[in-house]
Structure 1
């Protein structure tokens, strides 16, 4: 089975959302991502948020999904609905197609 590593990012750097709305938006996107990973036997590798006192509010999820066009399109459709519900211009969807693993330097730090 072929797998895809996907990064999904949302933000509120334009302050369109109140803190309460940002919380609801983040929660609903997180639930959609987690449901998609569970339903497809994918794996959620992690989720990150900006620092609480940062000028920018952002969140990112990394997940591995089986390459199943219907499941991926379903998740994308749900994310598009959430973007509309929360008056967002977009949600970032990035597929890692050329991942490079960098090994340790010989001799270590000096």
Structure 2
């Protein structure tokens, strides 16, 4: 699995790493039961701290997309559908873009409410 990050992005590196996995799940490149590369290996290949990779993996665990198992590493679960994984990715990108524009959380929620009602 290929990981890419953009150090100049408003999105934190750990979130970018999680986004790579979400995209791979949504695109059908990674399936339930597949193991993700060890955090140390990903960190070395990207030139980032291992804790950055672990933050990304932890976010994926919280979303139900992976399981972290001692001795086995990160394993993709059946988790949410690929469509939901893509939607979560899009929502994270929206939040990062909004923050880069200086919008508050309340502004983003108001924007979404406007879109939902229209």
State if a TM-score over 0.5 links the two structures: no
Give 1 or 2: higher helix fraction: 2
> TM-score, normalising length from structure 2?
0.31
Indicate the structure (1 or 2) with the bigger Cα radius of gyration. 1
Query: Higher relative contact order at CA 8 Å, sep ≥6: structure 1 or structure 2?
Result: 1
Give 1 or 2: higher strand fraction: 1
